[in-house]
Amino acid sequence: MKRRDFIKSSLLALGGTTLMTTGCGKGKLIKTQGQVIKRRFKDIDIPLLGFGCMRLPMNNNEIDMAELDKMAEYAMAHGANYFDTAYMYVDGKSENAIGKVLKKYDRSSFILADKSPIYKMNSREDVRKIFDEQRKKCQVDYFDFYMCHNINANTVDQYKKVRMVEELAKLKDEGLIKYFGFSFHGTPEILQDVVKDYNWDFAQLQVNYLDWDVVKAHEQYNIVQALGIPVTVMEPLRGGGLVNLSEKALAKLKENYPNSTPAEFGLRWAASQNNVVTVLSGMSNLTQMKENIATFENFTPMSEEEIKVADEMAKIIQSQGEINCTACKYCTEVCPKGINIPAIFSLYNQYKVTKSAFHLKIYYETLSESERANNCIKCGLCNKNCPQNLPIPDLLAQVQKDYEKAKSEA
Amino acid sequence: MLYKIRFGIAILILITAILGITGIFYPLALFDIQIAPLIQRIISDFTVITLVITIIMLLLTLLFGRFYCSLLCPLGTIQEITALFRGEGNEETRKNLPVKYFITAITIGVMIGGSALLIRYLEPYTYFGSAFTLSIIGIIAIIAIIVLTVFKNRYFCTNICPAGCILGLLSKLSLYKMYIDKNECLSCGMCERNCPSGCIDSGEQYIDNETCVKCLKCKGLCPKDAIKYGIKPKEEVKFSLKRRSLIILGASLAVLAGAVKAGIETGKILGEKIKNVILPAGADNAQRMLNKCLNCNLCINACPNKILTKSNKEFGAVHIDYTKGEKYCKYDCIECAKVCPSGAIKKISLEEKQKTRISMAVINPEKCSKTGECINICPMHAITKEGNEPAKIDASKCIGCGRCKTVCKSNAIEIFAINDQQRV
């Protein structure tokens, strides 16, 4: 090779790499016209927007198969080929429905994620039995992504006892699972322990701009990131809580970004985290799907200003709601029992908006045992410090009561 | 003669120590100079005084060898008394086994890292304290050591005890040494047969100063007065680090480093979740207490109200049990902090103690019989009552001494443990 050519090609290569790195943002984003953006994960490219199959289109208490078929078609046509289902979604009907609509596509053209229900497992044998059942329901031979479903304070013992990891690792070795991970709704302490159980391919966490601080989502995120475990995001819009924003929070968004919608903003926030490979959104009709796909066709990671606005919005959301807590944390400074009062009130306020007992339960359980309301001894030290004059011990008792109720319902 | 004087003093010290541990009389100074608790106190409650005392103790050891073991250590004297009944008998010179360096590196390392988890179970002063307060572990340990003494004399001191190991290393370099005057020695073997530490080789006319506890027994027995205690004349001093010693040194240091790291981790994990225990003022929190308390139990009998209880199923270190003794913590008393040799209960002043919240009293308004007995008894004047309302506690003033509960006839007051002690 001539010197001139060598210099030329080197410059070209250099230019190319710079273009790739700067043009594609932080985490190697792959852009194609008319398709949702993709991110590299191990040896495949996966869409940054995944189809969460917990809230499927419904018609008279039955899954609206026609609408679902249309949605799947639209998603596949736009490269959003990641489908995330689970054993108990839509009363156990989600897997069947997804299996039916995906049947007409080549198996290699879509990515299917499913989860192993910990609560169902009485023995190690059950793990494989249920896995086979799920394969039948979904009409597939293998799962691309497969998880231990919902590891938390209540399930972690069962998960350890039946040695799910060992059994599922075997299935992975047999090629029936391509990537093995877990979905998590527990405390950072439990997560610290769980990450050591296996060389996980990925972790499914609840990541959104409100929970980043409130229920210490960033701590969970940091724990898995430190180990180089990529994250798939669930609850990016907190079960709709970040779509139906309060007037004040919405005003904050519109004042800064008049063209932005709460859903778009929330999804983009979650997708902008470096270590996130896909953000799962539960879409219940084609319109929602079209909106979300549009968001991800032209996705750019959030700027620092946008992230700042999200922080401010989180603060506004926290300070509003039935309990007028501003999260100033004066109470936690004095609480002799170390109860995380602002976080408890924040998630309770969310519960009052969404009325979702399920979310109250899972979010409440991401707090450590010692941070929860039942530790309150009603000494009243917090009352003295609260600038809002909230009757904190009584409110804590109320939250605890509602949580107990939510727990018994679930 | 010297031996008898030394032994006499040692017995006096032992008696004083027993009086102290059983709560009859507190020889503060005696417990403040115990070696392992001293090192622990530097880590857990650093004061210049502690440092000075430690340095003095170590300097004295550098001057006179490990005299601590046969003079100040209560367990050492117990062994010596036991040995009186076993007669002579170190048929052969025992080897100076290297395993003790590793034991010491591990226990002291973990302690430096921040956890007393191991030292608590290997330290003679703790054994002594817990045995004389009738703790099972202490009693078993002391019986085991007495049995060991019957068979092997001061084997514990020379081959297991971490405090002894540290002092032994210093003793090796000490100014005053035990040595045999080779011009006088007949190699009769009298000293060797009677040495409790087995550190004399009468054939070689050699005394190993590392394991010699300076009991001075041999000095009195020697028919030719050939055993000297003083500055050894420099004759065949061939100071050479043998390869073996180097390997042991290197390995011990590596073990020490590992142990420090393990200690840091242990300190973080141990007791992290425990929140329901009430501790004496100056102990901070359950996690710290569990990592710093040696369980010597000296404070238990020092407490005038007898509310302290030894390590049990609920909590692995000394803690307060308000169902015991007088059932409350005396307001103008700081005895436990005064006597604590390990710094687990920090040496706070009485004023500080009176402002330290150790738990929290809460009145159940439904149960309160409104007689107001608690109001005047509260040393903090934290309880008030208006008209016919139930009594109220001003939480910001309450230090959780439990006094109010002792006078409440309607059982309306509950004392709750708190996570961390707070200043009011």
**CA distance linking residue B109 with residue B257, whole number of Å:** 7
A45, β-bridge pairs: A40
Domain residues for the domain of B98 are: 2-231
Number of domains in chain B: 2
Tokens representing B347? 């040496």
H/E element, A115: strand A111-117
pTM, two decimal places:
0.72
- Determine the pLDDT at residue A17: 46
CATH label, A25-303, candidates 3.20.20.100, 1.10.3720.10, 3.30.70.580, 3.40.50.720: 3.20.20.100
* Closest Cβ opposite residue A379 in set B273, B275, B362: B362
Mutation pick from A187, A377, A392 vs chain B, by most beta carbons of B within 10 Å, is: A377
Question: Are B213 and B309 in a shared domain?
Answer: no
Reduced to 3 states (helix: H, G, I; strand: E, B; else coil), residue B280 is coil
Q: Token pair of A7, please?
A: 């210099």
Same domain flag for B298 and B222? no
Provide the residue-wise pLDDT of chain A in tens; the chain has 410 residues: 455 555 555 555 554 444 444 333 345 788 888 899 999 999 999 999 999 998 899 988 899 999 999 999 999 999 999 999 999 888 889 999 999 999 999 999 999 999 999 988 988 999 999 999 999 999 999 999 999 998 988 789 889 999 999 999 999 999 999 999 999 988 888 999 999 999 999 999 999 998 898 778 899 999 999 999 999 999 898 877 788 888 889 999 999 999 999 999 999 999 999 999 999 998 889 999 999 999 999 898 999 999 999 999 998 887 777 787 877 788 988 899 999 999 999 889 888 877 788 888 888 988 888 899 999 999 988 987 887 788 999 999 999 999 999 888 76
> A381 — contact with chain B (CB < 8 Å)?
yes
Q: What is the CATH number of the domain that holds B390?
A: 3.30.70.20
> How far apart, in whole angstroms, are the C-alpha atoms of residue A101 and residue A21?
37
Q: Where are the beta strands (DSSP E) in B176-237?
A: 176-180, 200-201, 206-207, 227-231
Q: Looking at the complex, report in whole angstroms how far the Cα of residue A218 sits from the nearest Cα belonging to chain B.
A: 21
Tell me, what amino acid is at B266? T
Helix (H, G, I), strand (E, B) or coil at B165: helix
CB-CB contact of A164 with A118 (8 Å)? yes
Q: Please provide residue A29's backbone torsions phi and psi, each rounded to the nearest 5 degrees.
A: -90, 140
CA distance B222 to A118: 78
Q: What angle do CA B372, B373, B374 make, to 5 degrees?
A: 90
Q: Is residue B277 part of a domain?
A: no
If asked whether residues B97 and B218 sit together in one domain, one would say: yes
Please tell me what DSSP assigns to residue B95: P
With vertex at residue A58, the alpha carbon angle to CA A57 and CA A64, rounded to the nearest 5 degrees, is: 75
Q: Which residues of A touch B396 (CB under 8 A)?
A: 381, 384
3-state secondary structure of A339: coil
Q: Domain end: B231, B246, B265, which one?
A: B231
Q: Where are the domains of chain A?
A: 25-303, 321-409
Nearest residue to B110 (alpha-carbon basis) of B291, B296, B286: B291
CB A51 within 8 A of CB A283: yes
| Structure ipTM | 0.77
What are the C-alpha distances in Å from A195 to residues A98, A199, A200, A369?
Answer: 30, 8, 7, 20
User: Which of the residues in chain B have pLDDT under 70?
Assistant: 28, 87-95, 235-241
Q: Are residues B49 and B116 in the same domain?
A: yes
* Amino acid identity at B396: S
CB contact under 8 A, B422 and A336: yes
Percentage helix, strand, coil for chain B under 3-state DSSP, each rounded to 5: 45, 10, 45
Closest CB from B275, B395, B420 relative to A379: B395
Looking at B203, B231, B259, the residue that finishes a domain is B231
Residue-wise over B64-74: b if at least 16 C-beta within 10 A, else e? bbbbbbbbbbb
Contacts of A384 in chain B (CB under 8 A): 395-396
On whether both B47 and B174 belong to a single domain, the answer is yes
d(CA B227, CA A274): 76
> By the 8 A CB rule, do B160 and B122 touch?
yes
Beta strand A177-184 with A143-151 is parallel
| Min distance B418 CA to chain A CA atoms (Å) | 5
First to last CA, chain B: 58
CA distances from B357 to A84, B380, B397, B414 (A): 52, 11, 9, 15
CB of B418 within 8 Å of a chain A CB? The answer is yes
> What three-state secondary structure class fits B309?
strand
Residues B194 and B322 in one domain: no
A239 Rama class: left (phi>0) / alpha (psi -120 to 50) / beta: left
CB contact under 8 A, B419 and A384: no
B107 and B215 share one domain: yes
Q: What is the pLDDT of residue B166?
A: 93
Residue A150 DSSP SS3: strand
